[in-house]
Amino acid sequence: MILVRKPSDGANAPAAAALAEGLVAGGKNKMKPGGLKTWLLASRPKTLPAAVAPVIMGAAMAYGDGVHHFPSAIVALVCALLIQVNTNFVNDYADFKKGTDDPERIGPLRVTQAGLVTPQQMKRAIWLTVIITALLGLYLVYRGGWPIAVIGALSILSGILYTEGPYPLGYLGLGDVFVLIFFGPVAVGGTYYVQALTVNWVVILAGFAPGLLSVAILTVNNMRDIEGDKKTGKKTLAVRFGRGFAMKEYFYSVLAACLIPVVIYLVTDKYKLASLGGLTLFFTPGVLGVIFSKTDGPSLNKALAVTGRLLLIYGVLFSIGWIFSSR
């Protein structure tokens, strides 16, 4: 893990670039300021399952119900990824501007703080991502009408307001609610709706599962950054209520997510195989051990990546089970 000192106000751009040039993960992997690897790092690939899994689920549920529309599902997936990447870009920029990302942070490298990308470059990337998402979203609006326009606009806006603006959601401890809603029922229900042009309560309930697992991802992130967030006034739930609360939040979020398909089966007496998603629980003992026993950055960074994979595993297992249950 590389910690890079934030350049002082008097540092010039060439000095920052020279500092960034020194970031070497070994031989061929040298980072170049503004290079492709730098932007890939800024996109935070380990967080992208939060965007992919709910769209997969919404598409699979539409397919199983015989109301699928593949072009809409594909465009919805691309837009979901772009919104997640844009949220990460805004977070990178805003946390640098607010001083939350400083030389003492123990999380993965942040490109703006490291001088690999200038604040101006990041702002341009944010606007470019928003414009591309909006242009692609026009097709979904054409397909699904004003409900999709509202969902798209709110998703983009919430991603920006998560760390930017006078009252950023993440700094007020509202990030967990935002993640639960927008990476859960909104993403799953929106994907289903843009294909079927209708939605039902079962789809919405199913959507809470990826939302809860996304909350678990956020919880790991907040546990790792708890000391740094305290210093900068970022009042996440982990800061407000302590590490013990965060541990419980993680455990119960994962448990509730895995029980949702079982509840759907018990209530509807259908979609029995969708309960395959609950098998994700059997992959959690290792990461739970880390959550309840480790406080160091590297261990929690690995736990974050593992939780992202758990979300993807859940989405795939649930989707396969749903499709086969519907036949």
Question: What's the confidence (pLDDT) of residue 54?
Answer: 97
Under the banding of pLDDT at 50, 70 and 90, the label for residue 169 is confident
pLDDT at 15 over 70: no
Under the banding of pLDDT at 50, 70 and 90, the label for residue 47 is confident
Altogether, the residues listed in the chain come to a count of 327
pLDDT at 170 over 90: no
Question: What's the confidence (pLDDT) of residue 317?
Answer: 97
Could you tell me the CA-to-CA distances from 297 to 107, 112, 117, 222, 292 in Å, in that order? 6, 20, 23, 11, 14
Amino acid at 220: V
Amino acid at 265: Y
pLDDT at 224 over 70: yes
Domain boundaries, the chain: 46-325
Kindly report the number of other CB atoms within 10 A of residue 26's CB atom: 6
Amino acid at 14: P
Alpha carbon distance 115, 123 (integer Å): 14
Under the banding of pLDDT at 50, 70 and 90, the label for residue 22 is very low
Q: Averaged over 52-65, what is the pLDDT?
A: 96
pLDDT at 67 over 90: yes
Could you tell me the CA-to-CA distances from 175 to 162, 167, 307 in Å, in that order? 7, 12, 17
Could you tell me the CA-to-CA distances from 49 to 105, 110, 213, 262, 312 in Å, in that order? 24, 19, 10, 22, 6
pTM of the model as a whole: 0.85
Question: What's the confidence (pLDDT) of residue 5?
Answer: 35
pLDDT at 19 over 50: no
Q: What is the pLDDT of residues 132-165, one digit of tens each?
A: 999 999 999 999 999 999 999 999 998 888 888 7
Alpha carbon distance 142, 133 (integer Å): 14
Q: Which residue has the higher pLDDT, 171 or 65?
A: 65
Q: What is the pLDDT of residues 294-323, one digit of tens each?
A: 999 899 999 999 999 999 999 999 999 999
pLDDT at 11 over 60: no
Question: What's the confidence (pLDDT) of residue 33?
Answer: 74
Alpha carbon distance 192, 214 (integer Å): 19
Question: What's the confidence (pLDDT) of residue 1?
Answer: 31
Amino acid at 211: G
Q: Percentage of residues in the chain with pLDDT exceeding 70? A: 87
Q: Which residue has the higher pLDDT, 101 or 75?
A: 75
Question: What's the confidence (pLDDT) of residue 121?
Answer: 93
State the greatest distance between any 2 C-alpha atoms of the chain, in Å, as a whole number: 66
Under the banding of pLDDT at 50, 70 and 90, the label for residue 18 is very low
CATH number of 46-325: 1.10.600
Kindly report the number of other CB atoms within 10 A of residue 307's CB atom: 29
Phi (first) and psi of residue 117, to 5 degrees: -135, 135
Poorest-pLDDT segment among 3-7, 160-164, 237-241: 3-7
Poorest-pLDDT segment among 4-18, 48-62, 191-205, 288-302: 4-18
Contacts of 231 (CB under 8 A, 6+ apart): none
What is the 3 state secondary structure string of the chain? Answer: CCCCCCCCCCCCHHHHHHHHHCCCCCHHHCCCCCCHHHHHHHHCHHHCHHHHHHHHHHHHHHHHCCCCCHHHHHHHHHHHHHHHHHHHHHHHHHHHHHCCCCCCCCCCCCHHHHCCCCHHHHHHHHHHHHHHHHHHHHHHHHHHCHHHHHHHHHHHHHHHHCCCCCCCHHHHCCHHHHHHHHCCHHHHHHHHHHHHCCCCHHHHHHHHHHHHHHHHHHHHHHHHCHHHHHHHCCCCHHHHHCHHHHHHHHHHHHHHHHHHHHHHHHHHCCCHHHHHHHHHHHHCHHHHHHHHHCCCHHHHHHHHHHHHHHHHHHHHHHHHHHHHHCC
